[in-house]
Structure 1
């Protein structure tokens, strides 16, 4: 069994994921569905394991996969999701009590997609978002709408309640990831003396970069932080009407951590997310 200690703590059994990574039979998206792991974690861990020599580099496929590889991918996905002992399983969203294998890239699904919005579908989407599922992953499940249709619902004034709950769920998922990164960082720092100093420092830097990326995503999901930005100036100038939830404020979000420090989203002393600001002034 490979030694994964220097790559940080994780509940996943990486020896179960290694064959799928090295064979190149499954795409990254299909590996995400088979192992119930986030795309970002899979790619980041994969790079770390390859750099450390624990895993081999994934073979690159030019263009569409040949039929032989598609048949092998179908056979693997037909076995259902791989159960990792220490990872909570949230895949109990089935039809007829049986999990349907995810759709393979390039193969059409026979399950009809949802067209009209319903409260049940909206709640199911928000529950999965809160569990850190991406919208693309959710929309591949049976009975789910297309990604573009969900985005259409989020922009529609008729579904304002769904829009609010969706962004609250996405924000909660990101804040939970930030808490997990803080715990992981504290464990690595506390264990620095027992490990190689260079390896520990590199690991700490990697965690801090991931945390900065999540903080940037939190900023994009907090439109009220940028209140007052996007106003027109000059004589007889009124407020600029922004039709989307985030409006034209993406440019200010690109400033990253510095902007979050200025707006108070991140406490300058503790470098942690200020929940009072995140919740709109509520404690």
Structure 2
């Protein structure tokens, strides 16, 4: 018998080709889940699925840009047609953005961030919830950010998009609680990834400055965010919905 957090659960993970999403695929599989990975980069997805299968996990992938509604629908349909149901979803797909003063931010930057972080989530929630209503139950975790809880200077569209993730989480949790669907969110602090590596590489000293603002004094590993998401998705917290869990080394509590 598997005593992990997610034994037998069929879980869809978006943005699964790198960073927190790829870490979630490994963590969820270790916790007993069957995982379906969705992202835009097929080579990365195929490599990750091979790794998971080599370790005995049940895993599949579908190439999907969830900012396009039809692609989000296909990801959910693929999951249900392959495994018979959708038990849980980790809506992780999203992007960051360069730091620019608000009055200098272009329409293109705003549109790109909002499409990825807000429209993508909107698309996923619609189709995931519809599938879970067929089951009579389900659990969803959305990936927000500490930027969804506090202000971050020179990142206005990103901050707005992550506040929107919080709003969607709370609204969906309230709307579907009586139908057996829980909706929560994680709000990561600075987390090691390709994006943050590039960001820190272009801004010497920035990582030390950010870490000095975090009580634990370090950057999170993506597996730490994934572990929190796994718990929220699991049956270990059945009375928890509509919450946004900071996973930030104490940053927002200062």
Q: TM-score, normalised by structure 2?
A: 0.31
Select the structure with the greater relative contact order (CA < 8 A; seq sep ≥ 6): 2
More strand by share: 2
Larger Rg: 1
Q: TM-score, normalised by structure 1?
A: 0.29
